[in-house]
Amino acid sequence: MSVAREGAWSVNPKPHIAFFQAAPYQRLYLDPTMDCDQYVKLWQGAGWERIHGYRQPELTDDLWRWLKKQKLATPEDDEVFHEFRRLLGDRRVAHLRPALRAERDWFARRTLGR
């Protein structure tokens, strides 16, 4: 994280939930309210055990509540979550996928003389 920041990269938490072969528009991307360092520590610790597949009942009753408690999802995400559940159906398994999004503004870096 520190190396990325020193190199003019912005790094943000970008977890999502998806099923096998889901197109990007079929994935449920979340915008956590925690900072990036907290996010990384979560997955290095207690969050590690949450990374696996979920069927409908445990997706709703277990994972979604946990995501909200950890500030990875918000009440405003509920509507999109319910849409995702309908798309998922009863036969597919949804997988929690922690991720980081790294971006760099190449133009800004050039104007800084680097």
DSSP 8-state code for residue 92: -
DSSP 22-40: --GGGSEE---SS-HHHHH
- pLDDT for 93-109, tens place per residue? 999 999 999 888 776 55
Spans of all domains in the chain = 2-111
Per-residue model confidence (pLDDT) at position 109: 54
> Which regions in the chain score pLDDT beneath 70?
5, 107-114
pTM above 0.75, yes or no: yes
Detail the DSSP E strand segments found in the chain: 9-13, 16-19, 28-29, 53-54, 94-97, 100-104
